[in-house]
Chain A
Amino acid sequence: MAETVVFARPQALAPVPTHYCPGCTHGVIHRLVAEVVDELGLAHRTVGIAPVGCSVLAYNYFSTDFQEAAHGRAPAVATGVKRARPDLIVFAYQGDGDLASIGMAEIVHCANRGEKITVVFVNNAIYGMTGGQMAPTTLPGQVTTTCPLGRDVSQVGYPIRVAELLATLRTPAFVARAAVHTPLHAVTAKEMLRRAFRYQAEGTCFSLVEVLSTCPTNWGMPPVEATEWVEKNMVPYYPLGVFKTPDGLDRAPRPAPATEG
């Protein structure tokens, strides 16, 4: 009987183990990106931009060419690559400290210029690699090593909703938020990523998919609890969906729950 392959490693994913902690969903997100790149037939002309943060070594985990960016500057580096070689498919892979704190200027202006790149923005509401400090995305009351009594919004403000913020820009773009804490969510996340890469391949617009992720290590909970924490605490503050499409038919974001903060 002939064997049929029903599951295999995507070609765009390197055949190596990752250093990610048990229960961290970076690995899932890497895989979804690689599947999309493969399925759209883009791998041979794709260049990734790695960030500073837990996914700093992303260049080891994809079998595409890569450039490693300084902290927060991936959108600027991606701009340089894309402007030098518009025929390439350029994606930046960034965490929330990288993109929403030190790199806020770069992401806003990259989106506003309408650079034809794709940003995969992984939001786990904390600084992972440096050991669990407060991020711009840390939830109100969430305990981290630099807000040991919980995030006090009267002192440090509210967590930044990046997808919503970028969706306010006039320049056409595709901006969405997804999650990967259940298989069904992961399937939806892949569709968002597929749309994002397709828009780039067609030369349509800037695209960004924010993906809610886990950090069991720095959240201080087992992996299963961490996925439940995403559903219970992150999804209500960071609603999932498409916030902006290039044709202007923006889906109105769901209103934030009244209980926030």
Chain B
Amino acid sequence: MAKKLMKGCEAIGEAAIKAGCKLFFGYPITPQNEIPEYMAHRLPQVGGTFVQAESEVAASNMIYGAAGSGERVFTSSSSPGISLMQEGISYIAGSELPVVIVNIMRAGPGLGGILPSQSDYFQATKGGGHGDYRLLVLAPWSVQEAADLMQDAFDLADYYRNPVMVLGDGLIGQMMEPVEFKAERTPCKPLPPKAWVATGCSGDRPTNIINSLFLDPEVLERHNQKLKAKYDLMVRDEVRCASYGTDRPYEVLVVAYGTVARVCSTALDDLREDGVGAALFRPITLFPFPYAELRAAAENARAVLVVELSTGQMIEDVRLALEGSRPIHFLGRQGGMLISPEAVSERVSAISAGLPEEVRHG
């Protein structure tokens, strides 16, 4: 299929439809309103259903109900709305339902602002809602990758019976880029039949019950361990990451995800012209985090620079990956302020020239 110029939010919506998703439940919040608007317009054209929920709390429970019926379903929101969805997300993880959740992050905490941010990394990767669960988190850096990951997200959700989050920021949602959808797409995982759905029982099988209530502690512990085994499989099989400039010698390894990694890649090109050796490591899955891959890439560097639109969240996973083997520096902006390629270049040059201090967190 020919390339088409699309806004990130629209590409995400179209990708969901291409992945066979006919159901959307959501609530308006800036900066992702183009997703529900696109779905409201497009879903009736393909025989699907769009429902504007009364709140994000309700939306997250509507996708629970729809997923329990075995149909592909997704919702989208932005940071404060995702906070409200944590109830449903926890129940969905506990009940092992496949849903896709898009978070187009804006700056917080509280009502915060409406401009791009990466300050929901902890919430996305370390839990967010109550209980011992994980989301599989995908972080695109371009509109094309957002469209591709969105389609994979449905396959991963179905395969693992687990919520998958596509974590973008206001930039990915709002910018326009060429997107190409493949005419024939092969699912990225095998898709087992959904024998567990609650869609009526004729008496030929025990009733199917979608549930996360286990009052017997031994039974709940077994359930927790079953979930853990699933997350372990994700860690083993689903890590995705990308590197840029690692094929040439480098002194500084820059670590960034999402659109910030795009900014950093521009900086790398400038640095290369100035003769400063730097490379970029970009996690694409934030859970599972590419610990081993990052550790290997950092072995060739003298120091590591983490760049985030937050006061430092992913840096904690970078620390876990490196286990003190390299000095780690941090460059961050907050509140919806962006990081320029020049700021990245300047910091990398300073580190390369022997900037003494590491920035400590936590």
Chain A contact residues, CB within 8 Å of chain B: 11, 14, 43-47, 49, 56-57, 59, 62-70, 73, 76-85, 88-89, 105-106, 108-109, 113
B88 CB contacts on chain A under 8 angstroms: 70, 73
Given the interface pairs A44-B202, A56-B213, the reply to whether A80 lies near B91 with Cβ below 8 Å is no
A232 CB to closest chain B CB (Å) equals: 36
A46, B199: Cα distance in complex, Å: 7
A–B complex contacts, Cβ < 8 Å, 23 sampled: A44-B202, A44-B203, A47-B199, A49-B65, A57-B213, A59-B211, A65-B209, A66-B211, A67-B65, A67-B68, A67-B209, A69-B64, A73-B57, A73-B88, A80-B63, A80-B64, A81-B66, A84-B49, A84-B69, A84-B73, A85-B69, A106-B57, A108-B54
B87 CB contacts on chain A under 8 angstroms: 70, 73
CB pair B213–A68 under 8 Å, yes or no, is yes
B55 CB contacts on chain A under 8 angstroms: 105
B63 CB contacts on chain A under 8 angstroms: 80
B154 CB to closest chain A CB (Å) equals: 15
0 or 1 for each of B77-110: is its CB under 8 Å from A? (1 = yes): 0000000000110010001000000000000000
A149 CB to closest chain B CB (Å) equals: 33
B211 CB contacts on chain A under 8 angstroms: 59, 66-68
B73 CB contacts on chain A under 8 angstroms: 80, 84
A53, B210: Cα distance in complex, Å: 17
B64 CB to closest chain A CB (Å) equals: 6
CB pair B199–A66 under 8 Å, yes or no, is no
CB pair A80–B208 under 8 Å, yes or no, is no
B82 CB to closest chain A CB (Å) equals: 16
Nearest 9 pairs of A and B residues by beta carbon: A80-B65, A76-B61, A77-B65, A65-B198, A109-B54, A80-B66, A73-B61, A80-B62, A45-B200
Given the interface pairs A65-B209, A68-B210, A70-B87, the reply to whether A79 lies near B198 with Cβ below 8 Å is no
A143, B58: Cα distance in complex, Å: 32
Task: Specify which of A44, A80, A106 lies most central, judged by the most chain B CB atoms within 10 Å of its CB.
Answer: A80
A47, B200: Cα distance in complex, Å: 6
A105, B59: Cα distance in complex, Å: 12
B65 CB contacts on chain A under 8 angstroms: 49, 67, 69, 76-82, 84
CB pair A67–B210 under 8 Å, yes or no, is yes
- Asked whether any CB of chain A lies closer than 8 Å to the CB of B340, the reply is no
A255 CB to closest chain B CB (Å) equals: 31
CB pair A64–B62 under 8 Å, yes or no, is no
A6, B36: Cα distance in complex, Å: 54
The listed residue (B51, B61, B70, B209) touching A66 by CB distance below 8 A is: B209
Contact count A vs B, C-beta below 8 Å: 138
The listed residue (B25, B57, B95, B199) touching A88 by CB distance below 8 A is: B199
Minimum CB distance partner of B58 in chain A: A76
A71 CB to closest chain B CB (Å) equals: 9
A109 CB contacts on chain B under 8 angstroms: 53-54, 58
A106, B58: Cα distance in complex, Å: 7
- Asked whether any CB of chain A lies closer than 8 Å to the CB of B71, the reply is yes
The listed residue (B23, B51, B53, B95) touching A68 by CB distance below 8 A is: B95
CB pair B61–A106 under 8 Å, yes or no, is yes
Number of B interface residues at 8 Å Cβ cutoff, please give it.
Answer: 39
CB pair B49–A65 under 8 Å, yes or no, is no
CB pair B61–A69 under 8 Å, yes or no, is yes
Given the interface pairs A59-B211, A70-B87, A80-B25, the reply to whether A46 lies near B200 with Cβ below 8 Å is yes
A34, B286: Cα distance in complex, Å: 47
B213 CB to closest chain A CB (Å) equals: 6
B225 CB contacts on chain A under 8 angstroms: none
Minimum CB distance partner of B90 in chain A: A70
- Asked whether any CB of chain A lies closer than 8 Å to the CB of B111, the reply is no
A65, B196: Cα distance in complex, Å: 10
Beyond A66-B211, A105-B55, 16 additional pairs, beta carbon < 8 A: A59-B211, A65-B201, A65-B207, A66-B208, A67-B64, A67-B209, A68-B213, A73-B87, A79-B25, A79-B62, A80-B68, A83-B49, A88-B199, A89-B200, A105-B54, A109-B54
A79, B58: Cα distance in complex, Å: 9
- Asked whether any CB of chain A lies closer than 8 Å to the CB of B67, the reply is yes
B163 CB to closest chain A CB (Å) equals: 14
0 or 1 for each of B32-63: is its CB under 8 Å from A? (1 = yes): 00000000000000000101011101110111
- Asked whether any CB of chain A lies closer than 8 Å to the CB of B212, the reply is yes
Minimum CB distance partner of B69 in chain A: A84
Minimum CB distance partner of A78 in chain B: B65
Minimum CB distance partner of A73 in chain B: B61
A89 CB contacts on chain B under 8 angstroms: 200
B43 CB to closest chain A CB (Å) equals: 11
- Complex interface residues of chain B between 124 and 178 (CB less than 8 A to chain A): none
B323 CB to closest chain A CB (Å) equals: 39
- Complex interface residues of chain B between 315 and 358 (CB less than 8 A to chain A): none
CB pair B61–A88 under 8 Å, yes or no, is no
A46, B208: Cα distance in complex, Å: 12
CB pair B64–A77 under 8 Å, yes or no, is yes
B199 CB contacts on chain A under 8 angstroms: 45, 47, 65, 85, 88
The listed residue (A76, A88, A113) touching B200 by CB distance below 8 A is: A88
Task: Specify which of A63, A79, A89 lies most central, judged by the most chain B CB atoms within 10 Å of its CB.
Answer: A79
Minimum CB distance partner of A57 in chain B: B213
A29, B63: Cα distance in complex, Å: 29
A65, B25: Cα distance in complex, Å: 23
Minimum CB distance partner of B71 in chain A: A84
A45 CB contacts on chain B under 8 angstroms: 199-200
A26, B224: Cα distance in complex, Å: 31
